[in-house]
Amino acid sequence: MQPLFSVNSHIIDPPGLFEGRMPAKFADQAPRYENTDFGGLWQFGDHMSFLHRTCCMAGAKDGENWRTDVQGFNTLATHDQLRPSCYDAAQRLGDMDIDGVAVTASTSDPAGMGFGGDLFAMGTDPEAGFAALQAWNDWYHEEWISVAPNRLVPVGYTWYRDPERAAGEVRRNALRGFRAVAIRNPADLDEPWFGTGHWDPLFQACEETGTVIVHHTDSLPWWPKRGGPAGNMYPYGMGLTIYQLGATDFCAQLLWGGVTTRFPNLKILVSESGGSWLPHLIRRLDWNLGHSPLTRADWPDQNAAPLELLQRSFAFSTQEYDLIGPYSAEFGISRWLFEDDYPHIESVWPNTQADFATGTAHLDDETREQVAWKRAAELFRFPLPEKAYADTASSGNA
């Protein structure tokens, strides 16, 4: 059995997460969880995050087959309908063992704090938002990671309203062993884009501490909300079809913003993006730079082609295993990593081992092992537990 190192899984935040963790003066402004007649939700200021079933599909208790309940895709859940492994780290280890996943890196999601921890920036009081951000990182460190620090990779959140504070939070977390920080594009929150240099203190902190930037692909808030007043009239699959545009946007802004040029040792992981959008990004960049003098004049690194920067600075996690071989051969992008996306709808728990084996059957043994865990262990500076090494050796895969 091949040990697996998932660089993308998720936590369904437990209802009492912020209790006793906020400074007294902000205690009544903490994000608040409620069970409503429709399902669970988090509220912070005027913003609400709903516990959609799509965020916890693999977490349904035995006997509840939400995958066949098509109407349930856009309905809400409550914690008592979930496997405890969604929100309890000790229970998560059990589900990882069932699935053959040795190590995982987990963050919250749109059912809670947001893929990039952007909920904290949406309150009306920035000081309360920053306090809530730090409270979440503290809970994560003390209640989640501490349960199995050799199997759970710490990926913290940071702040979007002040780059110096953002950098400070990265350094605070790095001192206690955090390996990465989840970041969405601040321009999505009406903050300056990466090309202004405004966020350079954050990038400098990441580069200096070896903190990997993890960008989880997300729907973009400025997409037109067509199809009805509520903006939710399209089929779920249509949203997934255009979902990868968020990854394209993030990478393009980092490249055109000169971030990978100013910080050549920065490491960036684009997760849950699949990767099938990469040929368009690469070819469009190459065509524009070869065709348009105006485009060439604006390119921030006259000594490096787009593909060189992508190969040097970026890694990509995927469940679209069939593209790994062809894209590595055609573009030289070899930093592919495994993700299980537990407990989201894309997760295939508890059949991940079989799914990975079938999907990567076209790869040679060394490449398969690199995708399964070796590249992730190197990227995060997080070795595979000794037992996983032993299991690999005994199965003849090492």
Enter the tokens of residue 271.
């997760």
DSSP conformational letter for 41: E
Predicted confidence (pLDDT) at residue 371 exceeds the cutoff of 60: yes
Asked if the model's pLDDT at residue 90 lies above 80, the reply is yes
Q: Which of the 8 DSSP states describes residue 276?
A: T
DSSP state of 213: E
Q: Can you list the positions of beta strands (E) in 61-178?
A: 101-107, 152-153, 155-157
| Confidence (pLDDT) at 59 | 72
Q: Does 206 reside within a domain?
A: yes
**Minimum mean pLDDT range among 143-152, 230-239, 387-396:** 387-396
Predicted local distance difference test score (pLDDT) of residue 60: 75
Residue 80, in any domain of the structure: no
Closest by CA position to 273, among listed 215, 193, 332, 186: 215
pLDDT at 222: 64
pLDDT above 50: residue 286: yes
Asked if residue 124 is part of any domain, the answer here is yes
Kind and range of the H or E run holding 88: none
Confidence of residue 238 (pLDDT cuts 50, 70, 90): confident
Q: What is the pLDDT of residue 219?
A: 73
In a domain, 281, yes or no: yes
Question: Does the residue 309 lie in any domain?
Answer: yes
**Count of structural domains within the chain:** 1
Asked whether residue 182 is assigned to any structural domain, the reply reads yes
Residue 158, domain CATH: 3.20.20.140
Lookup: tokens for 384: 């595979």
pLDDT score at 334: 92
Q: Are 295 and 335 in contact (CB under 8 A)?
A: no
179 CB-contact burial (10 Å; exposed 0-12 / middle 13-18 / buried 19+): buried
Q: Is residue 314 over pLDDT 60?
A: yes
As a whole-number percent, the residues of the chain with pLDDT over 70 amount to 91
pLDDT at 315: 98
Q: Is pLDDT at 203 greater than 90 in this prediction?
A: yes
Range of the domain at 15: 4-27+86-395
In a domain, 269, yes or no: yes
**pLDDT score of 220:** 72
